[in-house]
Amino acid sequence: MSAPPPDAPSSAAHASTPSDEAIPTSFALLGNPNTGKTTLFNRLCGIRARTANFPGSTVEARIGRIALDHTTGRVIDLPGIYALDLDRPESRICRDVLAGDITMGRRAEALVVVIDASNLRRNLVFVRQALQQKLPTVIALNMVDLARRRGVQMDIERLNTALGCPVVPVVARSGAGVRELVAAMKRPAISDLAPDSTDDDPDAWAQRIYNDCVIDDAHRAEKGDQLTDRLDGAFTHPVLGLVIFAAVMTALFYAIFALAAVPMELIELFFGKLASLVGTVLPDGAVHDLVADGIIGGIAGTAVFLPQICLLFFLISLLEDTGYLARAAFVLDRAMRVFGLPGQAFLPMLSAHACAIPAIFSTRLIPDRRDRVAAVLVVPFMSCSARLPVYVLLVGILFTDPLHQGLAFAGCYMLGAVAAFGTALLVRRTLLRGPSPPMVIELPTYKLPSLRTALLVTIERGWLFLRKVGTIILGICIVLWWLSAYPTVPEPPAAVEMRAEAQAIVDSAPQEAAALNEQAGAIAARHALAHSFVGRIGRFAAPAFEPIGLDWQLTVGVLTSFAAREVFVSTLAVMFSGGEGAEDEAVLDRIRTARRDDGSPLLTPASAASLLVFFVLAMQCLPTLPVTAREAGHWGWALLQLGYMTAVAYLAALVVYVGFNAAGFGGA
């Protein structure tokens, strides 16, 4: 950036700076979307940040700590907004924070306004609004490297004088200028240059400042614009754009499932070892069972999905940073509007294939409230990772050849998506009737993604997932464990006899004795579960599930899976093998060949198909409900979601069961 010319106009800066004793330590980071605000926040605060919600809203605030000489300052990253005076939740929150009505623990004492140097003209209008707040301000002139490449040359000193507050050029992605910015943050200035908005047009003011301070804007970016035009032409093409989107999403999911497999196995191994260790430390009894089965089992059930969720957020962050996701939302908007959903809803629906809970959180990026609530309601229809063990078991019963199994898997995913879009259409024409605002979206510049930003986002989101969901799922699993473990009953006579027989031959035939003990354990475990509270509830509820082909044993499995879907397979494993190693092929075979009380096969093609459809469509993840209630704004939405999805799942399962029986597939 060049020095001011000798005949610089005498637009004297009138600014007041805080006294030396009043160096601010609490900053609000403000700026348009796509100005690199989050990247700059990460540069300033690193991982020393936490996420919270602004009071009374679902809008997130990131609050970080920054080192300032001999003290620690605080930076609150406000949501990116286009203007402070818009009637939108994000703009209202920014106004309230700047006015001191929302403090998040400490009032913001100074502003850091992040602006895009390559788009200065538009950002100056926003700067004017920020300066009118009369807070000590520093301007972070970000993306100066991009501006330089586009042929934009600015006189920073003149800009500093014109705005009346420090202007610091930075490149947040590389960290250039951040040290100078931190130094300037200790000496922000209150500008009184911004004229009263009723006397001067903001656009004219911005144009004047721009004309005064930009030396050359030759916009040597024709080549860049041509490349962007070509890329946009492909990515937003009505047909090619969708093909590219499908290819990118396929690659994304393949990467997630392929790369997450090993870490997931390691996590399962770790918690298995931990449970064994507990077994050696704690004596058998209620405390041992609570810790090993309730607590460790509950945490393991959550933690095992962490690799998938972290990979999902990491890859989505990279994609978002490239500028592609905005184009994807744009090209999908027209297709999704048919079902009453905006283009931005595709990202939560995509994320739901890992887990519905973070997907529901990500519906916050949908601007319209009706659109957002509709997305929250339908997201759980998308087949999540927890459903996979159930799909593996039931598809394996229905089909033996890999081709048909693959088609069945794809069919499950499609059924969930069809139900999601159909429900969105129904909801937007009934409960959430009203026009959906047409899309206006900024398409950010294409650029290479920042690994650092993606990693920080992943760490933060992963921790948030563990903290929020782990507590809810852990609580539910402990309750479920208690219901399935109590009341305790003595072992049945058959198991007692087997143990006695094993004891008699333990010296002469140790292997046979061990097999007898194992069988006795399986019989005892099944007997205990059948007489537990869950078992009694299962027998009581069995008549309601009989029309869709389930007996009391499968009903117990369905009821326990309301805590977490994958619990279904482990519940059946407990019933028919005495153990929870459901990935053991022998255990799966035992489930496939198990019998009902009347001797008929437990799982026939008809009952397996109806159960499969039920799991595709049912809301069987109770931890999702409080998240729905929070994001949709009322528990009524969560209960509606539970009731509606259960009803749809039941009816669909009934149709499938009756259809299979009518077609002659009811037997084994």
Contacting positions for another protein (CB under 8 A): 82-83, 85-87, 116, 118-119, 121-122, 125-126, 150, 201, 203, 219, 221, 225, 228-229, 232-233, 236-238, 326-327, 330, 333-334, 337-338, 340, 428, 434-445
In terms of CB distance, is 83 or 247 closer to another protein? Answer: 83
Q: Quote the least distance from Cβ 93 to another protein, whole Å.
A: 16
Residue with tokens 């004297």: 12
Residue with tokens 């994001």: 631
Nearest to 127 by CA among 141, 138, 108, 113: 113
Q: Quote the least distance from Cβ 316 to another protein, whole Å.
A: 19
Burial annotation 517-527 (CB, 10 A radius, 16+ → b, else e): bebbbbbbbbb
Q: Are 166 and 24 in contact (CB under 8 A)?
A: no
CA distances from 553 to 484, 530, 585, 597, 654 (A): 13, 8, 20, 9, 18
d(CA 254, CA 124): 43
Nearest to 419 by CA among 658, 638, 653, 662: 653
- CA dihedral of 239, 240, 245, 251, whole degrees rounded to 10: 130
Which amino acid, 375?
A
In terms of CB distance, is 290 or 365 closer to another protein? Answer: 365
Q: Quote the least distance from Cβ 172 to another protein, whole Å.
A: 17
CA distances from 505 to 497, 516, 522 (A): 13, 10, 19
In terms of CB distance, is 296 or 325 closer to another protein? Answer: 325
Q: Quote the least distance from Cβ 53 to another protein, whole Å.
A: 24
Q: Omega of the bond prior to 238 within 30 degrees of 0, cis?
A: no
In terms of CB distance, is 134 or 237 closer to another protein? Answer: 237
CA distances from 96 to 7, 27, 91, 100 (A): 42, 14, 9, 6
In terms of CB distance, is 435 or 599 closer to another protein? Answer: 435
Q: Quote the least distance from Cβ 432 to another protein, whole Å.
A: 11
In terms of CB distance, is 69 or 203 closer to another protein? Answer: 203
In terms of CB distance, is 23 or 81 closer to another protein? Answer: 81
Tokens describing residue 233 = 């032409």
3-class DSSP state of 215: strand
In terms of CB distance, is 408 or 441 closer to another protein? Answer: 441
Integer-rounded Cα Rg, in Å, for the chain is 30
What is the SS3 assignment for 16-36? ECCCHHHCCCEEEEEECCCCC
In terms of CB distance, is 239 or 403 closer to another protein? Answer: 239
Q: Quote the least distance from Cβ 454 to another protein, whole Å.
A: 23
Q: Quote the least distance from Cβ 130 to another protein, whole Å.
A: 13
In terms of CB distance, is 52 or 204 closer to another protein? Answer: 204
Q: Quote the least distance from Cβ 443 to another protein, whole Å.
A: 4
Q: Quote the least distance from Cβ 249 to another protein, whole Å.
A: 20
DSSP 107-128: ---EEEEEEEGGGHHHHHHHHH
Q: Quote the least distance from Cβ 154 to another protein, whole Å.
A: 13
Residue with tokens 């809970």: 357
